[in-house]
Amino acid sequence: MSFPLRRLGASVLVAGAMLAVTACSTAADPEAEPTAAVSETPIAVADEPESTPEPAPAGDATEVTCESMLPASTVADFASIGWTYQEQPFWAGEVELADGVLCVWADYEAQAGDHLQMFGWSPIDADSAVTAQDSLLSQGWIREEDEQGVYITENPETTIATDADGYGMTFLFGDGWVKMSDTKQGIILVG
């Protein structure tokens, strides 16, 4: 098995474990975070795209899509295993990122549908970034900084699925943008 497929397989197992555990947990307080309906129709990914989309640069104002935010090879890997995506409303804590896109990739034709990966990207102004970070931190998330920007990640004591370094769902705030993935390692895929 090639390296990208092993990585994808490992990610699928982590996401599946995360979903399996959350399916058994109690419902969250409905006022804790607004929710919206998910599109009922999965969007199919073409087996052979006419052009190879490259991820949009992190600060680029061009329209970001579920396919353009990821490397073409990742989109092709997902398509090769029958995965499609659904766009969902993108929230960072209590801040809705209406100009962004959150994509949930999975095999929506499978019976269980419990294996998935999430990726998000959005432009964000400085005030909204502070509000989003403060909101997540007030819910027990953890802040880390490095040369890439400000990471806000789930508390490892309460996260369900983690990457090899122990990080679960993570947001990366940069200058005018925010990225999100179901693991910190997954953020590297978001253009």
Range of the structural domain that residue 83 is part of? 3-29+54-189
Spell out a b/e string for 61-94, using b for 16 or more CB atoms within 10 Å of the CB, else e.
Answer: eeebbbbbbbbeebbbbbbeeebbbbebebbbbe
The mean pLDDT of 37-66, rounded to a whole number, is 51
Higher model confidence: residue 167 or residue 115? Answer: 167
Dump pLDDT digits (tens) for 104-136.
999 988 877 568 999 999 999 999 999 999 999
The pLDDT score that the predictor gives to residue 113 is 59
Q: What is the CATH number of the domain that holds 74?
A: 3.40.1000
Q: How many domains does the chain have?
A: 1
Residue 41 in any domain: the answer is no
Share of the chain above pLDDT 70, in %: 66
Predicted TM-score (pTM) of the model is 0.69
- pLDDT of amino acid 183: 95
Instruction: State both tokens at 72.
Output: 């073409």
